[in-house]
């Protein structure tokens, strides 16, 4: 019998969970913050902020000749934690009350002092960014393995609750901006985003192994599906499902699919183009996805539509790039995870996606050398999906004609 599965579809107000799942999110009482998020982003919240941890960390881990660590301290900070100091302060402001309100049990560093919120956040970010062992991360901060484990999980719980507003389906006005950018960049009217999926590879103890978790290349893995906007920012995430599942089935089990099929999402008015062609709202996806009225995939090679496929691939590459940046920035997702808790892993994945969006939302630039140099799902071959909806085929033909008429 396969393990429980957690479906993380992010909507504006709540995280949707698969109905038959017994996993429940812990309810937390909201506390009024003395400072708004905007003030935190602008760096106006400095009360009780600990900066000594960074001085000690930089002194211990500063670059030596031949190392990859930048000589500049600001760039060095981004190298270790993936975010600027300003964004780091904002992240601390999000989780501060949660980390303070639940006193840590024995989180004492080697100087004999209680760990500050800043040091806890730094430890968690370093663990997620580097993917190094808890022992190695702990050594760089002067704390033990168990402290790294406890701190990282407390941070993940707090971020999943407090940062969820950074990952939600856009409202009407923001969706119009996204559609406008896709049309400007790719001449694809009414396009609302791009979709892709990736595998998080792991090892499992013998008692937990099953065909469900064994994927097409014989790895044990967990699937992640994401829909992104014109900035490669995640708008919707689904995870928790075993790697042995096919991409079409992953899509069908998602809350996003159910919302689209019921007309609650991607349901804006069709665009009537100058050449009398109707184009409804849609997203673009690879050949491993089904062709649907609201999900447009490429033509097969036998259809000889290279012009359309080139434009389509350029738009879809935004989702490919997002996953390359996600796994490159938060390397814990790109390394083989050693016997992870399959009920906690979805939360780790979602928080990494939240951090990806926060970097963009706070105006940090993701350095080109951070993204993976190879494909985010290296070794996995795209399986062509033969499912074709007649209305979806007509939609794709209309888009192809529109592109041909507007060369």
The pLDDT tens digits of the residues spanning 61-104 come to 988 887 889 999 999 999 999 999 999 999 999 999 999 876 55
pLDDT attached to residue 102:
67
- Category of 58 on φ-ψ map: left (φ > 0), alpha (ψ -120 to 50) or beta: alpha
291-330 pLDDT, tens digit per residue, is 999 999 999 987 878 899 999 999 999 999 999 999 999 9
Backbone phi and psi for residue 228, each to the nearest 5 degrees, phi listed first: -125, 160
56 Cβ neighbours under 8 A, 6+ residues apart: 142
pLDDT attached to residue 3:
43
Residue 128 near residue 83, CB atoms below 8 Å: no
pLDDT attached to residue 141:
94
Report the predicted TM-score, pTM, of the whole model to 2 decimal places: 0.86
Calculate the alpha carbon distances from 149 to 121, 132, 133 in Å. Answer: 12, 12, 10
Calculate the alpha carbon distances from 39 to 2, 43, 100, 361 in Å. Answer: 46, 6, 19, 14
Residue recorded with tokens 């309810």:
27
- SS3 labels along 55-79: HHHHHHHCCCCCCCCCCCHHHHHHH
Distance of CA 358 to the CA centre of its chain: 10
Instruction: Using DSSP, state whether 292 is helix, strand or coil.
Output: strand
Backbone phi and psi for residue 394, each to the nearest 5 degrees, phi listed first: -65, -40
Residue 317 burial class via C-beta count within 10 angstroms: exposed 0-12, middle 13-18, buried 19 and up: middle
Low-confidence residues in the chain, pLDDT < 50: 1-7, 10-47
44 Cβ neighbours under 8 A, 6+ residues apart: 35
92: number of Cβ within 10 Å: 20
The count of C-alpha atoms lying within 13 angstroms of the C-alpha of 115, restricted to the half-sphere facing its C-beta, is 31
Whole-angstrom distance between the N-terminal and C-terminal Cα of the chain? Answer: 54
Structure tokens given for 33: 């913050």
- Give dist(CA 136, CA 145) in Å, integer: 8
Backbone phi and psi for residue 185, each to the nearest 5 degrees, phi listed first: -85, -35
pLDDT attached to residue 110:
53
Residue from 131, 155, 143, 66 nearest 107 by CA: 143
Structure tokens given for 310: 């080139």
pLDDT attached to residue 101:
77
248-274 pLDDT, tens digit per residue, is 999 999 999 999 999 999 998 899 887
Distance of CA 91 to the CA centre of its chain: 16
Residue 99 near residue 155, CB atoms below 8 Å: yes
């Amino acid at each position: 019998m396969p393990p429980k599965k957690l479906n993380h579809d992010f909507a504006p107000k709540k995280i949707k969970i698969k109905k038959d799942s017994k996993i429940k999110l812990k309810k937390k009482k909201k506390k009024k913050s003395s400072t708004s998020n905007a003030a935190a982003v602008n760096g106006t919240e400095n009360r009780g902020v600990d900066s000594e941890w960074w001085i000690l960390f930089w002194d211990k881990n500063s670059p030596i000749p031949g190392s990859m660590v930048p000589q500049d301290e600001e760039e060095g900070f981004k190298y270790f934690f993936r975010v600027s100091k300003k964004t780091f302060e904002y992240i601390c402001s999000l989780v501060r009350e949660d980390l303070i309100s639940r006193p840590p049990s024995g989180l004492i560093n080697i100087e004999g002092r209680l760990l500050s919120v800043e040091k806890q956040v730094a430890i968690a970010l370093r663990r997620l960014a580097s993917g190094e062992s808890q022992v190695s991360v702990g050594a760089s901060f002067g704390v033990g393995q168990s402290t790294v484990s406890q701190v990282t999980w407390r941070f993940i719980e707090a971020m999943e609750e407090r940062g969820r507003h950074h990952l939600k389906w856009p409202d009407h006005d923001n969706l119009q901006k996204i559609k406008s950018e896709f049309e400007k960049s790719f001449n694809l009217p009414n396009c609302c985003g791009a979709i892709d999926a990736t595998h998080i590879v792991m090892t499992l103890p013998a008692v937990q192994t099953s065909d469900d978790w064994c994927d097409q290349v014989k790895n044990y893995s967990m699937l992640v599906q994401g829909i992104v906007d014109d900035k490669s920012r995640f708008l919707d995430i689904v995870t928790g499902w075993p790697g042995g599942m096919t991409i079409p089935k992953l899509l069908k089990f998602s809350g996003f699919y159910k919302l689209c099929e019921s007309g609650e999402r991607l349901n804006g008015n069709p665009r009537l183009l100058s050449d009398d062609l109707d184009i409804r709202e849609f997203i673009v996806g690879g050949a491993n996805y089904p062709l649907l009225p609201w999900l447009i995939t490429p033509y097969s090679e036998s259809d000889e539509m290279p012009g359309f496929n080139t434009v389509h691939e350029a738009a879809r590459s935004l989702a490919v790039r997002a996953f390359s940046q996600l796994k490159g920035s938060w390397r814990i997702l790109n390394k083989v995870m050693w016997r992870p808790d399959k009920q906690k892993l979805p939360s780790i994945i979602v928080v990494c996606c939240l951090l990806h969006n926060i970097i963009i939302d706070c105006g940090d630039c993701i350095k080109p050398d951070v993204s993976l140099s190879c494909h985010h799902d290296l070794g996995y071959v795209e399986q062509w999906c033969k499912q074709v909806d007649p209305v979806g085929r007509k939609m794709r033909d209309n888009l192809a004609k529109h592109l041909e008429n507007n060369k």
